């Protein structure tokens, strides 16, 4: 049990985290939760937010995860090496996710400004056309992502090991 559980954080083009972890903290549609070794099997929808990984070795890692799914799979270990006879495998799938350390703060800041401007400068109801609302929706998504990135990155230095 001291080994923690197998954790994978995966995006469509990259395996971001692939290491044994002691704890995983994230927010699902039902609220904040922490996954520890031996957690019941679970499938959950993860809402956009900051995810913290406490690896077995090394310092906690923060990620900005822009929505995704979590699968916890605790089942009898095939090779039976765990003391409880159970092995926990955790997979976090996200369309977009990035490590806090890898976030380009300048870029996120610019993106936030651009998106905010787009929303602010949007013309009031051109009711005959659907296009503006779609655009605005995209800008709102962009804004939310930029803010989440900044939050994830901005807090990093304030977090000593």
Query: Which residues contact another protein (rule: CB under 8 A)?
Result: 8, 10-15, 28-30, 40-45, 68-69, 71, 73-76, 78, 91, 93, 95-96
Q: Looking at beta carbons only, is 2 or 15 nearer to another protein? A: 15
In the complex, least distance from residue 161 CB atom to another protein, rounded to whole angstroms: 28
CA dihedral 59, 65, 71, 76 (to 10 degrees): -10
Q: Looking at beta carbons only, is 93 or 114 nearer to another protein? A: 93
Q: Looking at beta carbons only, is 124 or 130 nearer to another protein? A: 130
In the complex, least distance from residue 139 CB atom to another protein, rounded to whole angstroms: 15
**What backbone phi and psi angles, to 5 degrees, belong to 150?**
-65, -40
In the complex, least distance from residue 33 CB atom to another protein, rounded to whole angstroms: 8
> What are the beta bridge partners of residue 75?
87
> What are the beta bridge partners of residue 19?
7
Q: Looking at beta carbons only, is 5 or 74 nearer to another protein? A: 74
**Closest by alpha carbon to 2, among 52, 35, 37?**
37
**Closest by alpha carbon to 92, among 17, 1, 145, 5?**
17
């Amino acid at each position: 049990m001291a080994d923690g559980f197998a954790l994978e954080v995966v995006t469509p083009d990259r395996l971001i985290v692939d290491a044994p972890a002691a704890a995983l903290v994230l927010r699902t549609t039902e609220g904040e939760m922490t996954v520890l070794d031996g957690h019941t099997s679970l499938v959950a929808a993860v809402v956009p937010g900051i995810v913290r990984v406490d690896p077995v070795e090394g310092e906690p890692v923060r990620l900005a995860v822009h929505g995704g799914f979590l699968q916890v799979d605790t089942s009898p270990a095939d090779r039976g090496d765990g003391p409880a006879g159970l092995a926990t495998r955790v997979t976090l799938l996200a369309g977009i996710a990035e490590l806090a350390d890898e976030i380009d703060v300048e870029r996120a800041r610019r993106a936030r400004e651009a998106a905010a401007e787009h929303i602010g400068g949007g013309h009031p109801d051109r009711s005959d056309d659907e296009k503006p609302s779609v655009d605005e929706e995209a800008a709102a998504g962009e804004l939310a992502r930029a803010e989440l990135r900044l939050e994830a990155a901005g807090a990093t230095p304030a977090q000593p090991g």
